[in-house]
A and B are shown apart, each in its own frame.
Chain A
């Protein structure tokens, strides 16, 4: 019988670390990012439902239990509060747990542990105890899911001090940001745009750690007439809208926020001072959503630069709709164009 210690450090059958630039789907990029983080630091471990032999319902942890063993890739009981609560204890013992919540709507059983414990223990202990815990949440709609499989609850966490809330939009950022999230001494809510899991892009597997991707927004398209602010799954929508606007002779600048806690206000303000118009896009309901925060900050910091009020495009103040109707709920290119038209009408 192998001892616990032996099993802990077993990485038998590990292939050479991947390197170079490869074309990967966003889901596979996260997989590679997890693998790189686990090879770098044997305190990194994964916890979640069905993440072992199955590789997760989206296969994001595919092959990781085979490489790192059952002590580091843990199929947990079906209890989300337990996943996060035990991850907190593991972090207190020096581990860096990465929790997978199977779907967005299933994070709520863990809401208490995340908001009253995980977010506050560093503060409660006056910095003596850090909480390097990552909570991965596939979120957003567009895949025809049943209830609780298409929601975007990120604002609920951004409203809680002590948590970082991020969402990548590209395979490259997904690869980089998951590793930065794991390296962070702060708890990170890592929202994965599930409708974009299969979208492919170039990933430089040799990207070094130390990027500012958990804090800094990125201008992903330069423009002069209107600023489109998005994150996660809505960045693709913003870019498609910018293409459509270009055909109309309007130049849109697109900002990928990457993070909504913190929020890179300076990047947005710098852009809006240039364009004078701002439309924020996210799948979450606009009511009390991230867009409201951005609108308030833009209004406060560049009021005299604005040609029009900041407008928001997003979900409605309704339960996430049935799959047959979700495409009318989600921010589409058409709805973003409508908002841009209204901005120009001022």
Chain B
């Protein structure tokens, strides 16, 4: 099938579920339909639950920001299918390099929801131990982490690979339409391609880089960027969780088989603001927002599940209860973060080995903080020399 990007050009886009929640059987998509068909009703119910909880996380975090409990928050609203669908295709050993909006991915990876808000609370530059979840912390400089993903994948290649590479490690990196203009993203694709590195470039084209539409980033369809670097590239309906899952699973499998990197453009929409500091009414129309509300990824999967008997009022109630529990946990947990490390922890982990400048500044600060600032060095020197000079 095809959709358009607002221009008259038809762009091939993989879709397995239409906006009304009907399964689509287009010619040429059988391989993807087969992959999606491996998802049981229980899997789909899990995806639905995780998408609803991801949106609840968004709503709760936005409320916390409005109450002054978070300095900032970047909602993922509208991108739940792109995030949850792709994360479902990952295995625990796979390594994820996210940007700062991947709340659905982090949720599926099992990261503690309070940890995911430490950054936005202003109490941590990261929030979790990447090695525990094979998930890097946020990278705020747009696109810089895609190179880390390519390098990590080059490391995987150099490891003693298990005999059955299907059980090996693949790498995925998430970035947005704005990031595709960054040099680092393009360099990451060069490095991944020439090294045949096992990494998936997962672009969420949510149409907006803060206030700039995709037309400020590109003249042609973004999925063609991957093609130009010599890797298989595909555009999927990013609000179709089945298509996203199937495409990501295919790309990860390719990586595990030693067939190199892939590029996926998940065509979706940032239904909310860029962050809680943003005001989308200044740069986009409510008509556009309404148009995309009709393509809501959660409604779409919900319609499929209801039609196939996987969703009833009891399950909705169960998810609602889980959401309430999540909300309560966030409200309590975020406020409790203030009992964290002392200000002097600023001097921790600047270096892994002692560094004289940091050590001296820490010693000074701690004495100052204790109300006992040390005498200036020159006074000590003067005293030692009896003021001779």
Interface contact B147-A81, CB-CB below 8 Å: yes
Given contacts A4-B158, A126-B349, A164-B355, contact A116 B190 (CB under 8 A): no
Contacting residues, chain B, for A71 (C-beta < 8 A): 157-158
Q: Does B287 contact A (CB under 8 A)?
A: no
Interface contact B387-A304, CB-CB below 8 Å: yes
Contacting residues, chain B, for A164 (C-beta < 8 A): 351, 355
Closest to A80 in B: B187
Among B188, B349, B358, B388, chain A packs the most CB atoms within 10 A around the CB of: B349
Given contacts A86-B147, A305-B389, contact A300 B126 (CB under 8 A): no
Which listed residue, A8, A45, A95, A127, touches B349 by the CB 8 Å rule? Answer: A127
Contacting residues, chain B, for A76 (C-beta < 8 A): 191
In the docked arrangement, what's the CA distance between A125 and B132, Å?
A: 12
Which listed residue, B130, B155, B188, B194, touches A94 by the CB 8 Å rule? Answer: B155
In the docked arrangement, what's the CA distance between A276 and B388, Å?
A: 12
Q: Does A5 contact B (CB under 8 A)?
A: yes
Contact with A along B337-372 (1 / 0, CB 8 A): 000000000001111110111100000000000000
In the docked arrangement, what's the CA distance between A128 and B126, Å?
A: 11
One of B69-77, B276-284, B374-382 at the interface = B374-382
Interface contact A93-B150, CB-CB below 8 Å: no
Contact with B along A148-187 (1 / 0, CB 8 A): 0000000000000110100000000000000000001110
Q: Measured between C-beta atoms, what is the minimum distance from B174 to chain A in Å?
A: 15
Interface contact B161-A87, CB-CB below 8 Å: no
Closest to A87 in B: B151
In the docked arrangement, what's the CA distance between A19 and B150, Å?
A: 38
Contacting residues, chain B, for A88 (C-beta < 8 A): 147-148, 151
Interface contact B155-A123, CB-CB below 8 Å: no
Closest to B341 in A: A126
Contacting residues, chain B, for A79 (C-beta < 8 A): 187, 190-191
Given contacts A162-B351, A263-B356, contact A125 B191 (CB under 8 A): no
Contacting residues, chain A, for B350 (C-beta < 8 A): 122-123, 161-162
Count A/B pairs, Cβ under 8 Å: 181
Report the interface size class on chain B: 35 or more
Contacting residues, chain B, for A91 (C-beta < 8 A): 151
Q: Measured between C-beta atoms, what is the minimum distance from B114 to chain A in Å?
A: 15
Which listed residue, B148, B158, B381, touches A8 by the CB 8 Å rule? Answer: B158
Among A45, A76, A89, A264, chain B packs the most CB atoms within 10 A around the CB of: A89
Given contacts A261-B357, A276-B389, contact A305 B147 (CB under 8 A): no
Among B124, B129, B184, chain A packs the most CB atoms within 10 A around the CB of: B184
Interface contact B147-A82, CB-CB below 8 Å: yes
Q: Does B38 contact A (CB under 8 A)?
A: no
In the docked arrangement, what's the CA distance between A8 and B125, Å?
A: 35
Q: Does B273 contact A (CB under 8 A)?
A: no
In the docked arrangement, what's the CA distance between A129 and B151, Å?
A: 15
Given contacts A86-B150, A128-B130, A161-B358, contact A93 B159 (CB under 8 A): yes
Interface contact B382-A124, CB-CB below 8 Å: no
Q: Measured between C-beta atoms, what is the minimum distance from B106 to chain A in Å?
A: 15
Which listed residue, A84, A92, A126, A303, touches B126 by the CB 8 Å rule? Answer: A126
Q: Does B154 contact A (CB under 8 A)?
A: yes
Interface contact B351-A304, CB-CB below 8 Å: no
In the docked arrangement, what's the CA distance between A3 and B168, Å?
A: 15
In the docked arrangement, what's the CA distance between A289 and B353, Å?
A: 25
Interface contact A186-B151, CB-CB below 8 Å: no
Q: Does B141 contact A (CB under 8 A)?
A: yes
Q: Does B57 contact A (CB under 8 A)?
A: no
Q: Measured between C-beta atoms, what is the minimum distance from B182 to chain A in Å?
A: 10
Q: Does B105 contact A (CB under 8 A)?
A: no
In the docked arrangement, what's the CA distance between A84 and B353, Å?
A: 21
Q: Which residues of chain B (230-269) have a CB below 8 Å from chain A?
A: none
Interface contact A304-B356, CB-CB below 8 Å: no
Q: Does A201 contact B (CB under 8 A)?
A: no
User: Number of residues in A with C-beta < 8 Å to the partner?
Assistant: 60
Q: Measured between C-beta atoms, what is the minimum distance from A166 to chain B in Å?
A: 12
Interface contact A85-B352, CB-CB below 8 Å: no
Q: Measured between C-beta atoms, what is the minimum distance from B318 to chain A in Å?
A: 35
Interface contact B187-A129, CB-CB below 8 Å: no
Given contacts A4-B157, A85-B187, A126-B124, contact A90 B152 (CB under 8 A): yes
Interface contact B357-A305, CB-CB below 8 Å: no
Interface contact A273-B381, CB-CB below 8 Å: yes
Closest to A183 in B: B353
Q: Does A301 contact B (CB under 8 A)?
A: yes
Which listed residue, B149, B191, B352, touches A122 by the CB 8 Å rule? Answer: B352
In the docked arrangement, what's the CA distance between A3 and B165, Å?
A: 12
In the docked arrangement, what's the CA distance between A300 and B382, Å?
A: 11
Interface contact B154-A305, CB-CB below 8 Å: no
Hey, which bits of chain A sit against chain B, CB under 8 A? 3-5, 8, 45, 71, 76-77, 79, 81-82, 84-95, 109, 112-113, 116-117, 120, 122-130, 161-162, 164, 184-186, 215, 261-265, 273, 276, 300-307
Question: 8 nearest interchain CB pairs?
Answer: A89-B151, A85-B147, A93-B155, A86-B151, A89-B152, A82-B187, A262-B356, A185-B352
Hey, which bits of chain B sit against chain A, CB under 8 A? 124-126, 129-131, 136-137, 139, 141, 144-161, 183-184, 187-188, 190-191, 194, 348-353, 355-358, 376-378, 381-382, 385, 387-389
A-B contact sample (17 more), CB < 8 A, given A89-B148, A89-B150: A3-B161, A5-B159, A82-B188, A82-B191, A85-B151, A86-B154, A89-B155, A90-B152, A90-B155, A92-B136, A93-B151, A112-B184, A116-B141, A117-B144, A117-B145, A122-B351, A303-B378
